[in-house]
Amino acid sequence: MSPERPEPKSTRKPKNWGNRPWTINFRAKPQPLPDTVDFTVVGGGFTGLAAAAWLKRLSPQKSVTLLEAETFGSGASGHTGGLALAESAAGNLPELGEVLSQYKKILAELGVEGDLRLPGVYELGRTSPLKDSPICWNDSGELRAVSEVAGGTIDPGKIVTGLAAAAERSGVLLFEDANVERCEFLDPIRLHTSTDILRAREVLFATNAYSLELTGWTQRVESCFTIAVATESLPDAKLQEIGLANGKPFYTVDLPYLWGRLLGKQVIFGSGLVHFADWREMYSLNVEKGPASEAFARLEHRIRHLHPKLRDVSFTHRWGGPIAISEGWVPIFERHPQSANVIVLGGYSGHGVAQSVYLGAWAAEALLGKRELPNWKDLRQKRKDEVGSGSIPDGR
């Protein structure tokens, strides 16, 4: 954090979502909220930061504000696992395009250095393994690599920091601790924070698992909490024996779900969901108590039994964050039902690292009238019929 910038005064109680193994080194400088702007982005995760930076890059003469309720990356983006994947949780989507190559290009054009590595990702399964699978674990059967897909890893702290710095450099007015409590869908749109009203001609809601009343997603998105742990650094020989020495991240294609990646020589593993009756319960969730703490104990026990070389492993980081599970697991990217001047984007169902930035930039182009939104309505209905109303089974 720049030394001259004070911590924004927060009206929120501090959350206890654990200790993550990366840091976010950016704070917005305090400044007064303008009265009226051309564009406002609500939500300062990967989606909102990328959209705001891209808007200003494409249209430097327009005024752009970004309002974040807490600090940048305080939602899923700062607490993610950081696997960059090409496909959505519902597989490939019509009109989606080349997510990973565009992700790389957008980061490069914005000057964001986020340790993006794309060595490929193993899909793990309990049947029909690849002949040369380096992974052979014991996890409800024999878990091995069954295929390899495009993808890799990022440092989420660096990506949030870099996107925020890029947005600031390009002239976006950035506000942290600026929760949008209410929206009047007038022309211009009126966004009410606890202290001010901001008028904006066009708005992007990039609030993901939160503020479901603003996006109109109360019946369309299930907000859950999902967890991850990082092991101590492991010697090269141990990484070799457990099959992770080539640095390829992995996720399972059958249940029970497990994903993981290397961070230096530490291994990050994740799995498990905590469900809420209301998304606001996320704020009071404490990872040291109750269902989150039980989920960590289950995950660590599971990891220690994957392979004899992991039996005595210790864990240096335990953390979690929100996940927005959408209908049919298809991301929601459309106009708000109450105003054609508002776009809503999110609900990546655990596959948002690369898509958030890629679709965030697309949202900016759509707000500027340079690109149409995709039509994923029919696909969503089809997928919804296949997987049920939205919930990912607890085996995740």
List of residues contacting ligand FAD (CB under 6 A): 42-48, 67-70, 74-77, 79-83, 85, 179-180, 206-211, 214, 226, 228, 270, 320-323, 346, 348, 350-353, 356
d(CA 342, CA 50): 17
**In angstroms, what is the minimal distance from the CB of 317 to ligand FAD?**
11
Q: Would you give the distance in Å from CA 277 to the centre of its chain?
A: 21
In terms of DSSP H, where are the helices of 73-208?
Answer: 99-109, 156-170
Q: Please, what is the end-to-end C-alpha distance for the chain in angstroms? A: 35
d(CA 157, CA 341): 32
**In angstroms, what is the minimal distance from the CB of 17 to ligand FAD?**
9
Nearer to ligand FAD (CB atom), residue 69 or residue 303: 69
Q: Which of 47, 48, 75 is nearest to 64 (CA)?
A: 48
**In angstroms, what is the minimal distance from the CB of 31 to ligand FAD?**
16
Beta bridge partners of 333: 345
Rounded alpha-carbon distances, angstroms, from residue 11 to 176, 194, 296: 11, 10, 29
Nearer to ligand FAD (CB atom), residue 128 or residue 165: 165
DSSP string for 93-123: -TT---HHHHHHHHHHHTT-----B-S-EEE
d(CA 336, CA 215): 7
Kindly state the tokens that stand for 329.
């697991």
* Helix, strand, coil percent values for the chain (each to nearest 5): 25, 30, 45
Nearer to ligand FAD (CB atom), residue 180 or residue 258: 180
Nearer to ligand FAD (CB atom), residue 15 or residue 309: 15
| Helix, strand or coil, per DSSP, at residue 179 | coil
Nearer to ligand FAD (CB atom), residue 61 or residue 297: 297
**In angstroms, what is the minimal distance from the CB of 280 to ligand FAD?**
10
**In angstroms, what is the minimal distance from the CB of 116 to ligand FAD?**
13
**In angstroms, what is the minimal distance from the CB of 45 to ligand FAD?**
2
Q: Are 331 and 375 in contact (CB under 8 A)?
A: no
Tell me how many degrees the CA angle 359-363-367 measures, rounded to the nearest 5. 170
Nearer to ligand FAD (CB atom), residue 209 or residue 366: 209
Phi and psi at 321, nearest 5°, equal: -165, 180
**In angstroms, what is the minimal distance from the CB of 349 to ligand FAD?**
8
Nearer to ligand FAD (CB atom), residue 236 or residue 297: 297
**In angstroms, what is the minimal distance from the CB of 128 to ligand FAD?**
24
Nearer to ligand FAD (CB atom), residue 70 or residue 387: 70
**In angstroms, what is the minimal distance from the CB of 97 to ligand FAD?**
16
Kindly state the tokens that stand for 136.
């052979």
Q: Which of 221, 213, 110, 118 is nearest to 168 (CA)?
A: 110
Q: Which of 166, 154, 153, 155 is nearest to 44 (CA)?
A: 166
Nearer to ligand FAD (CB atom), residue 224 or residue 306: 224
